[in-house]
Amino acid sequence: MDPTVESKPYALVVAGLIAEAQTNPEFADLYRRHFVQPRRDATRALLVAAMDRGEIASDTDLEVTLDLLYGPIYHRLLHGHAPLTEDFAHQVIDTVITAISEKRPDRHGD
């Protein structure tokens, strides 16, 4: 996680970018292409490498996994209902990786 994510100016800037993207389609496209997508692409590459090593299940839906990783971070960032800390980010990552681990119990109940 970016070490500056806990700082107020960074959080306020990102929240402002997200707010602008909600009402400005041209800006939203730029925001997604230059801010969101590069981060998702970098994390996706890490997940693919983990999949190739057999550390996560080969049937893992990577797009859903990316949403699961980033969703809680943005939830705390935007709602401010609880602190957004590096420890929280690690908890999110550990929880998601455990859920998609090749060693997880059969999720289909078969």
Q: What tokens does 9 get?
A: 């100016």
Tell me the C-alpha distance between 110 and 108, whole Å. 5
pLDDT digits (tens, 9 = 90+) for 3-37: 455 666 778 888 899 999 999 999 999 999 999 99
Q: Is the pTM of this model over 0.85?
A: no
pLDDT of 1 > 50? The answer is: no
- So where are the chain's domains? 3-100
CATH domain 3-100 topology: Tetracycline Repressor; domain 2 (1.10.357)
Tell me: the pLDDT tens digits for 39-83? 999 999 999 999 999 999 999 999 999 999 999 999 998 888 998
CA atoms within 13 A on the CB side of 30: 8
Helices (H), 24-61: 25-31, 37-52
